[in-house]
Chains A and B, each alone.
Chain A
Amino acid sequence: MNPQALMDGLITGSMIGLGAIGVTLTYSILRFANFAHGEFISWGAYFALAVSSALGYLSGGLLTPIGPFSFGWSLPISAVVAVALTGGLALVVDALLFGRLRAQRGTVIIMVMASFGAALTLRSLLEFIFTSKPAYYSKALQIALPLGGGLRATPDQMLSLGLAVVLVVAVHLLLTRTAIGRSMRAVSENQQLSGVVGIDVRKVVRTVWVLGAGLACVAGVMAGLLVQIRPYMGFDLLLPLFAAAILGGIGSVPGAMLAGLIVGLAEAFAVQLVGAEWRAAVAFVILVLVLLVRPQGLFGRPE
């Protein structure tokens, strides 16, 4: 077995984990499985691509690589802008579609169906604007540095892993230690009751969208930096995202991250055994196993 699979798994896993946090938050607080969440990943990556090319056009100096990394200052700056834009996109989709359906008291499954429609619309729009040709943030090549134990990683990969850890800790602290985090958990327990005790439910809903879409955007930028940018990148991650959110237990942020890593590692090791063409089936197998053995997930509570 190639030890490099461990590194690949950790990196894919941290992207899946970041996306799954958004899925699990939408699921537990807005109470529906959002099939459009993968599109926030793709839109985030393309937002960052558009902003960073614009910055590079304005000032070529921003494109010169920083230290050991393959990208210049244009990418971190555009990633921050892209997080804001993706959050804005999520709010717009909510205002146009999900918010109205909530106001009409549509059933859960109508929301799921609407998210399915939104997903196809958003993805095809990307395909229309940017075409389906793959794109990259930087053309620079990187040498993977040996880490010991036969493991190798590029500086970009190490940075992405570090960033994922920081973000998960930050989101966990936000949910457990701040006022808005407590409000979010209260709304996920009981929406009506938390409205009665004076929690601004609409503010909580907005926070969930911005937070989920922002994390998805970071995952998208990471995927774009380490792999490539395609309109279908988010769609291809959708099944792993759901598998991770359910494996981790709906509503649990550490669970989503841990399960994301498990799904990522399982994919990487399975690819060694059965070949890369079966990668997408791994998430499905995990999903079926979780539903069979422990439908509430690792950290979830039984219904």
Chain B
Amino acid sequence: MSVELIGYGCFFLTMALTYAIMCLGLNVQWGQTGLFNVGIAGFVAIGAYVSALLTTPDTANRFGGFDMPILVGWLGGALAAAVIAFLIGALTIRLRSDYLAIATFGVAVTVQLCALNLERITGGPFGIGFIPRPFASLAGDPLLFSLFNLGVLIVVITLLYIALERLVRSPWGRVLRAIREDETAALALGKSAVKFRLQAFAIGGGIMGLAGAVQAHFIGFIAPENYLPMLTFQVWAMLIVGGSGNNRGAILGAVLVWGLWAASAGAVAGLFPPGQQARAASLQIVMIGVALCAILLLRPRGILGEEKVVSRHLGKLSSALRVDAKPATPKQ
């Protein structure tokens, strides 16, 4: 019993953490830079498919299967998604902000279409199976196997978190914030807004691709229906709930929203007769949609919210100022 419980806990957390990677990628694009991506599912799918193609063994009726190490697949998936993000960004970032949203929406639709129709490469509607899983030699012991998989995810998340936190606090991250808050002032300081935005968009896209690749290797099977617009929506809900602009918020939001999602899926399975379950599942989406809109209206900051000051230099300065400012508060 307790072994099963731990096993399920590991499975749940591993899934939640794959979403947390997507959330971290979105946080670079939206939280730090203010770029709206409606095609998350597309970038995740690119990462998943590229990694699957690189690492699966050679298959007779399908292009590829290059049988490469898993790590190569992950990096390849991230790189492919970053390149596509760069191209779409180069096309639209100069234009009005919602043109990017429309273009990324188009990417998601087109990637979905390619996954369905390019059967020689993607396996069509049946997808790609037998994707090698990390620690496959341990599969005989389910508990150890899921613990190790969770360990891999925790390592990936930790590395990514440290890297992103350093990035946010670096001069590069501070320029991104400056551009988001006041583009004219940033331009006056000689920072090219288009260039910085494009870099951030490509990095975010690459992280989403990595998330797709990691998730594909954790599940071992991918199909076009894993990458419907619903996925985009879930990731957005995660980031908004956790607090955009905050990397810890992104991870927290992913675990929370995935937990809510899994719990409500359980409730639907338990409460409704089998014939009505497909119908009731749409209520789940309604619930998440209403929650997203409500948070946008009532608490746009999310649970954790954004850290106002990320520069260590400014941190010292502002605390010094606060000490000075206190006695000066005028009495009413």
A: residues with CB less than 8 A from B are 27, 32-33, 35, 97, 100-101, 104, 106, 108-110, 112-114, 116-118, 120-121, 124-125, 127-128, 131-132, 235, 238-239, 242-243, 246, 277-278, 280-281, 283-284, 287-288, 291-292, 295, 303
Contact = CB atoms under 8 A, between A and B. Distances in A.
A121 B109 contact: no
Interface string B70-111: 000000000000000000000110011111011101110110
Contacts of B98: 27, 32-33, 108-109, 112
Contacts of A33: 98, 101-102
Contacts, number: 120
B296 interface: yes
A277 B117 contact: yes
B99 A246 contact: yes
Given A116-B236, A131-B279, A121 B103 contact: no
A297 to B, nearest CB: 11
A41 B34 CA distance: 30
Contacts of A106: 296, 300
B290 A121 contact: yes
Contacts of B292: 113, 117
A276 to B, nearest CB: 10
Interface string B285-326: 110111011001100100000000000000000000000000
B117 A113 contact: no
A135 to B, nearest CB: 15
B105 A112 contact: no
Contacts of B2: none
A6 B98 CA distance: 32
Given A239-B106, A278-B117, A109 B101 contact: yes
B148 interface: no
Nearest to B102: A242
Contacts of A121: 285-286, 289-290, 293
Contacts of B95: 291, 295
A35 B289 CA distance: 13
Contacts of A292: 91
Interface string B184-226: 0000000000000000000000000000000000000000000
B105 A35 contact: yes
B44 interface: no
21 contacts: A32-B98, A108-B98, A110-B296, A112-B38, A112-B98, A113-B236, A117-B236, A117-B289, A120-B233, A121-B286, A124-B285, A125-B282, A128-B280, A131-B279, A239-B105, A239-B106, A242-B105, A246-B102, A277-B116, A278-B113, A288-B103
Given A120-B233, A278-B113, 10 more contacts: A106-B296, A109-B98, A114-B293, A114-B297, A117-B290, A121-B285, A121-B293, A277-B113, A288-B106, A295-B95
A124 B113 CA distance: 22
A113 B282 CA distance: 20
A92 to B, nearest CB: 13
B36 interface: yes
B97 A118 contact: no
A291 B113 contact: no
A278 B115 CA distance: 11
Contact of B113 (A101, A112, A117, A280): A280
B282 A116 contact: no
A113 B236 CA distance: 9
Contacts of B105: 35, 238-239, 242
A239 B297 CA distance: 27
Of A33, A281, A292, A295, most buried by chain B (CB within 10 Å of CB) is A33
B278 to A, nearest CB: 7
Nearest to B35: A109
A35 B282 CA distance: 19
Contacts of A281: 109-110, 113
